[in-house]
Copies of this chain bind each other. A is one copy, B any other.
Amino acid sequence: MTEGEYDEEYADLGATTENAMEIAETSMDIVRQFVPDETLADRVRQKSVHSMGDIEFQHLLEFTGGDELGDDEDAPVRAGARAVLEEATIVTDITMAKAGVTGRGHDCETRKAIGNGAELAKETGMTRTAASVLEFDKRGVYDDSIAVVGNAPTAAFALADCIENGTRPAAIVATPVGFVKAEESRQRVREVSEEHGVPAITNVGRRGGSGLAAALTNELIHVASDVRTGELELDRTASDRATRRDE
C-alpha cells in the first residue's frame, strides 16, 4: 500500500503520519476478522466496533428507513453518502460530536445545534439540546441535512417530533447514551424513520455517545469518498452487493 493509498483509506480515522496509518490499518484489520465485510452496513458495523473497542457492538446497530432502491440495511448508508456528495449540512447536537466529525474528505458544512434556542429552553424548561434542535428546525437547517445526535436523548426526541411535523433530513445518525430515555429516544427515531421513510442509523441498548455518532458519520464520509474515486457505486442494494461479492 503506498502512502497515498493509506491517506485515502484512513483519513477519516484521523491518520496522516506513517505510524498513525499503520495503527489504523492494523486496527481495522483486527476489526475485519470479527465483523462481516459484505454490505455498506457492514462498514458502519466495523466502524462502530472500532470506535467502541468492543467486538459485540456490531450486533447493536439498526438500519431503518429507505431510499429509491428500497429499505434494505444499506439504505441509510447510501442516503448518508449521497448527502455527503451533495454537500449537505452535517448538524450535530453538541460540540463534542461536531469535534469528532472529520474535516477531510468532504465539503459539507458542519454545524452544532447546541447554543441555539436558549430563550426557548429558558421559557419552557426543556433541555438546551431539545430547544436547540427545535430552533434549528424552525430555521430549516434539518431539511436535507445529515442529522447527528450523539449525546442527548431529548435532542433525539425533538428531532423525531420535527420529522413527524414534516421535516425530512437526508439521513440520521442517532446514538444518545445513558440510563434515562436514551434507548426510548432511539426507538422513537426508528419509528418515525420507518413511518416517514427517513433513513436512520441508530443502536439499541443504553450505550452510545458522541464518539460513536462521529465515527459513524465519518464512515458515511468515507463511503462517499470511495464513490468519488470510483471504488464503489451507490446504486446497489445490500443483497446485490453481498451476492456479487461471492461470485
Q: A: which residues have CB within 8 A of B?
A: 14-20, 23, 26-27, 30-31, 50-54, 94-96, 98-100, 121-122, 125-131, 153-154, 177-182, 205-211, 214
Contacts and interface: CB of A to CB of B under 8 A. Distances in A.
13 contacts: A17-B122, A19-B126, A19-B130, A23-B127, A26-B180, A27-B178, A27-B179, A27-B180, A30-B180, A51-B209, A53-B178, A53-B182, A96-B100
B126 A52 contact: no
A208 B53 contact: yes
Given A96-B99, A214-B96, A19 B127 contact: yes
Contacts of A18: 125
Contacts of A128: 14, 16-17, 20
Interface centre among A51, A96, A122, A208 (most CB of B within 10 A): A96
Query: How many subunits of this chain does the assembly comprise?
Result: 2
Nearest to A203: B53
Nearest to A52: B207
Nearest to A33: B179
B207 A17 contact: no
Q: Which secondary structure dominates chain A's binding surface?
A: helix
Contact of A19 (B20, B99, B154, B179): B154
B209 A178 contact: no
Nearest to A16: B128
Contacts of A96: 96, 99-100, 210-211, 214
A126 B17 CA distance: 6
Contacts of A178: 27, 50, 53
A179 to B, nearest CB: 4
Contacts of A15: 127
A172 to B, nearest CB: 19
Given A51-B177, A179-B50, A210 B211 contact: yes
B209 A127 contact: no
A179 B209 contact: no
Contacts of A214: 96
Contact of A100 (B51, B53, B182, B210): B210
A51 B207 CA distance: 9
Contacts of A98: 99
Nearest to A54: B207
